[in-house]
Amino acid sequence: MNAIWKAIAERVSGYSWKSQNVTGVDVGSRLLKAVTLKPRYDGPILQGVVIEALASRSNLDSQSGFEQDRHLVQILRKQLSPSPRTVGITVSSSHVLLKRLTFPNMSENDLREHLALELDRYIPLDVQGAVWDVYRQNVSGALENEKDQALLVVAKKEFIEERMRQFQQQGMSVGFVDVDAFSLVNMVVYNYGQEGTWLIVHLGPTGILSVVMEEGHPIHIHQVSYEADWYGDLLDGMQSASETSGNGYKIGASESLLLDQFFKETIEQIIETAKDVSEITDRGVVRGVFLSGGYSALEGLQSRLADSLALSVTPVNPFKKIAVPQDIQQDCRFQKALPLFGVAVGAALRGLDPHD
């Protein structure tokens, strides 16, 4: 267990393509997404993708919820060819405690020893029932007043073990566990580079996940739920109607008003996060925003956000630098689902050991 969770906060800085395929799996609140990358000497090629709806449930931690999703792991095994024997999985930031720490300058080993002895000072969880890792942040100006900064990553051991058991029961081992926020950083760095300070915004049914990335490293992570609990039903309904009606779909007046409320709240939250950057790093200049997640493709969001922030806003293509076979590329369902695969792609990239 410790080996699987260890180095969860370590980011991929280079890629050494092994001989075997690598599968990244993102179990979201409503969808299971999986990506298998096949290694090639000139970069990876997409071997296969899976996207399947999860059974509706109110408690993601419940045993019944895991049982309901068991068949989805079976589908994963059947739809990916060859069937993956080892996968890397991600955990939603809503199920992980991410805490920034400021501490006197000390070595990596000393920091870990300190946290191992006094973890209960930093987390509101039973230490014996938690798994954790710490990521030392290379933030500009971090050595001010001889202080360092780190990101503490903690999850409930029981939850991680149960999620892993889903796959193990179907004959697949879990090679590593990652956090969705870190997987997004991997995906953006691989496809768009790491120079400068950027804001990654992932929009989905559980809310808004914002990650401030500096020189390819996450320096601030913020998760917030939507104020209105009906956003998900509204947006999912609109997307479903659009897919059914095609180009003939038009938003009604009442839907337009509700959509404006969603845009307003989302943009306000992102603006607040962008303002916080000046307090996190002395560079304090965000070059632009990367949009990810199922709700990021809503028409009008990109332009409104760009106008409000006076920054470039780029909808991410998780496969920008990954070769996609023509038959998959031409599948309209794949094209519409592109924003959904960011976390799964980042997880697959994490499975490639940069030190081999």
CATH code of the domain in which 212 resides = 3.30.420.380
Q: Are 13 and 2 in contact (CB under 8 A)?
A: no
pLDDT at 354: 45
Q: Say if 156 falls within a structural domain.
A: yes
Q: Say if 36 falls within a structural domain.
A: yes
Q: Are 176 and 6 in contact (CB under 8 A)?
A: no
Q: Say if 55 falls within a structural domain.
A: yes
Domain count, the chain: 1
CA dihedral of residues 91, 336, 318, 350 (deg, nearest 10): 30
Entry pTM? 0.86
Q: Are 255 and 235 in contact (CB under 8 A)?
A: no
The series of mean pLDDT values per 10 residues for the chain, 356 residues long, is 57 51 86 88 88 64 52 76 83 83 82 87 85 73 62 87 83 86 93 91 90 87 82 74 62 77 89 78 80 89 91 94 93 90 92 52
d(CA 105, CA 108): 10
Print the domain residue range for 182.
2-350
The tokens describing 228, both together, are 């209105």
Q: Say if 356 falls within a structural domain.
A: no
Residue 212 CB: number of other CB atoms within 10 A? 23
Residues ≥6 apart with Cβ < 8 Å to 268: none
pLDDT at 58: 44
Residue that has been written with the tokens 């870190």 in this structure: 182
Q: Say if 287 falls within a structural domain.
A: yes
pLDDT at 9: 56
pLDDT at 102: 82
Q: Say if 355 falls within a structural domain.
A: no
pLDDT at 334: 92
